Homo-oligomer: A and B are copies of this chain.
Amino acid sequence: MTTETTSPDSVRDRHWEPSYASRAARLQASEIRELLKLLELPDIISFAGGIPDPDLFPKDAVREAYGSALGDDGQAGRILQYSISEGDPQLRVWIAGHMASKGVACTAENILITSGSQQALEFLGKLLLSPSDTALVTAPTYLGALQAFSASEPVYDQLQPAMGNRTASSYHEAATAAGGAVKLAYAVPDFANPTGETLTLEGRQTLLSMARELDIPIIEDAAYAALRYDGDDIAPVQALDVAETGSIDASRVIYCGTFSKVFTPGLRVGWICASRPIIHRLTLIKQASDLNSAAINQAVMRHLAETRFDDQVAQARRHYRIKRDTMLAALKKYMPSGTHWTEPEGGLFVWVTLAPSINTSDLLKRSVADAGVAFVPGHAFFADGSGTNTLRLSFSLPDVQTIDRGIEKLAGLI
């Protein structure tokens, strides 16, 4: 299809485009990823990207780990070669031990290495969703999960871990009416992106009961689980299911973990922990998708995990706890009445709900132009585009003085 238009943009002047797959119509630029470009602007105070603070990256240790991994020519030859799709065997052993410490007894055969947990979500969409199948997601939910799943052209229904008035049969009926079946429930139980909220133990049990009734898998996205600043850890949904069913291979929970928030997102190393039949199929998906994640980065991450995981987690908790406290104090100090926000026990995010009349997309434009403050409008996190009076704040990147000043400026616009 060659098209001639009068658009001033030369890309449109004469170009050819193929006939795309039907899923291509659902491809949309992430508002957040576009917002990341604001970070390039000088003097902007960004509460937008939920990205880790580079001050926490263990740079010296990374530098040494690359040097050591490439140390002798034989080893360098191996880690610069193609490698197995499952991922570095020793890294998978470390992860299996880590999962066991969380109540999920498993072996390296239950672990697949992925290029970050975004790739894990995309693989799980591929594994589970045919067009018109239903994925249950919270409202709001992690935007990247919607993008990952949408490539498989599902419909979304609203997961309500507290259940509300939704029963398993109501989900089943809605999915049938939409032309498919309920195929998965996706949740971020700990310090969720975008709300910062944590699912209680009771909520986790309710979610499991509902998944059992529907006979569907639960995708447990644990991206932020290590970053707890107050209170006690709550068992992963996967641990609760393993305790009930007796083994990881009998569990319906698929756990997605990542080193991105604790160490660095730059090496692109995450993992899936699940039953062996599921890991086997996901390994075939990995093989078809990109053969394997870079062996050298896996070797470096293994070294970091083996030598300093606990220390790094402790340091990250201390570092972000102060920032979270600063942001909550600033919100309390500056925000007008009628504004509500979550008080997360961990993670990187605070979720703010404004008066229903305020559109946060409009607010963002004013905020960037007049106050030099960026955040993410909340509607991006709703599969149905609602939540227009909500916004997500991340406290991960700015220093404490900047957090206080940024919230003061933002509050002045509301």
Which residues of A are in contact with B by a Cβ distance under 8 Å? 1-2, 10-11, 14-24, 27-30, 33, 36, 49, 51-52, 54-55, 57, 59, 62-63, 66-67, 70, 73, 76-85, 114-116, 118-119, 122, 126-131, 133, 144, 147-148, 150-152, 181, 183-184, 215-217, 245-247, 249-252, 260, 264-268, 275-278, 281, 284-285, 287-297
With A18-B217, A184-B18, A276-B11 given, is the CB distance from A290 to B115 under 8 Å?
A: yes
> What is the bound-complex CA distance between A266 and B296, given in angstroms?
7
Contact (Cβ within 8 A) A16 B54: no
Number of copies: 2
With A133-B21, A268-B293, A284-B28 given, is the CB distance from A251 to B82 under 8 Å?
A: no
Contact (Cβ within 8 A) B18 A252: yes
Contact (Cβ within 8 A) A59 B82: no
With A36-B82, A151-B288, A293-B268 given, is the CB distance from A77 to B51 under 8 Å?
A: no
Contact (Cβ within 8 A) B14 A246: yes
With A264-B80, A268-B294, A285-B151 given, is the CB distance from A20 to B128 under 8 Å?
A: yes
Closest residue of chain B to A27, judged by CB?
A: B284
Contact (Cβ within 8 A) B126 A252: no
Please tell me which one of the listed residues B152, B276, B287, B293 contacts residue A33 in the complex, with CB atoms under 8 A apart.
B287
> What is the bound-complex CA distance between A49 and B297, given in angstroms?
22
Give chain B nearest CB distance to A70 CB in angstroms: 5
**Chain B residues with CB under 8 A of A79:** 266
**Chain B residues with CB under 8 A of A78:** 54
Please tell me which one of the listed residues B80, B151, B266 contacts residue A80 in the complex, with CB atoms under 8 A apart.
B266
Closest residue of chain B to A17, judged by CB?
A: B277
Please tell me which one of the listed residues B54, B129, B249 contacts residue A77 in the complex, with CB atoms under 8 A apart.
B54
Contact (Cβ within 8 A) B251 A16: yes
> What is the bound-complex CA distance between A281 and B277, given in angstroms?
33
> What is the bound-complex CA distance between A51 and B84, given in angstroms?
13
**Chain B residues with CB under 8 A of A52:** 81
With A29-B287, A63-B70, A118-B290 given, is the CB distance from A14 to B250 under 8 Å?
A: yes
Closest residue of chain B to A120, judged by CB?
A: B290
Contact (Cβ within 8 A) B62 A118: no
Contact (Cβ within 8 A) B250 A16: yes
Closest residue of chain B to A267, judged by CB?
A: B294
Contact (Cβ within 8 A) A14 B247: yes
